[in-house]
């Protein structure tokens, strides 16, 4: 008998964003396209979700804007919990120097101001949705 996993549902990606407006807009766009998303209000919550076995996503989308707990060290710690997974990082314009080293280590890095469509396009490139039996994606 296979080992039972504590993960009840596998999500396509984990979205961590303390900024509720950004989180809501990105979440709505991704869900409309057919992605299964676990959205949490910050890096600390994302770390907790992974450590508790609530999520094991193939892609991380981390928005550090207005997240007081988000430091480069803490974000690196989150990323290290899921080695080999692509990461999209969103940061504030005035924090460019603080996040520049980490931006070099992730798959995509966006500095505000951002267009939600650009973030969604990056998700689509890094994690394309599989076509269903009719050859159409769920968003078609």
Instruction: Note whether 139 and 129 are within 8 A (CB).
Output: yes
**Does residue 71 form part of some domain?**
yes
* CATH at 35: 3.40.50.2300
Residue among 110, 38, 50 at smallest CA distance from 83: 50
- In the predicted structure, residue 71 carries a pLDDT above the cut 70: yes
Q: With respect to residue 131, please indicate whether it lies within any of the assigned structural domains.
A: no
In a domain, 78, yes or no: yes
In a domain, 8, yes or no: no
- Confidence category of residue 135, pLDDT binned at 50, 70, 90: very low
Structure tokens that stand for 21 in this block = 């407006």
Specify which residues 89 forms β-bridges with. Answer: 62, 109
Enumerate residues 6+ apart whose C-beta is below 8 A from 28. none
Is 1's pLDDT higher than 50?
no
**3-state SS, residue 108:** strand
Q: What is the domain range of residue 36?
A: 13-126
User: Does residue 6 lie within any of the structural domains?
Assistant: no
Is the CB of residue 8 less than 8 Å from the CB of residue 14?
A: no
Q: How many domains does the chain have?
A: 1
Q: N- to C-terminal Cα distance for the chain?
A: 38
What 3-state DSSP class applies to 90?
strand
pLDDT digits (tens, 9 = 90+) for 9-51: 568 999 999 999 999 999 999 999 999 999 999 999 999 999 9
User: Which parts of 1-140 fold into alpha helices (H)?
Assistant: 20-33, 43-51, 72-81, 96-103, 116-126
In the DSSP assignment, the letter for residue 101 is H
Kindly state whether residue 30 falls inside one of the protein's structural domains.
yes
Chain mean pLDDT for the chain: 88
Return d(Cα 119, Cα 28) in angstroms, integer: 13
Within a domain: 133: no
This prediction has a pTM of: 0.86
């Amino acid at each position: 008998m296979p080992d039972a996993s504590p993960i009840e549902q596998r999500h396509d990606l984990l979205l961590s964003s303390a900024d509720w407006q950004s989180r809501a807009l990105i979440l709505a766009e991704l869900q409309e396209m057919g992605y299964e998303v676990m959205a949490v209000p910050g890096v600390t919550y994302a770390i907790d979700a992974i450590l508790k076995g609530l999520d094991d996503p193939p892609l991380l989308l981390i928005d550090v804007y207005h997240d007081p707990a988000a430091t480069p060290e803490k974000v690196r710690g989150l990323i290290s919990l899921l080695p080999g997974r692509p990461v999209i990082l969103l940061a504030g314009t005035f924090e460019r120097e603080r996040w520049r080293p980490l931006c070099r280590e992730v798959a995509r890095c966006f500095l505000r101001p951002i267009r939600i469509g650009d973030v969604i396009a990056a998700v689509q490139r890094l994690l394309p949705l599989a076509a269903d039996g009719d050859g159409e994606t769920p968003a078609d």
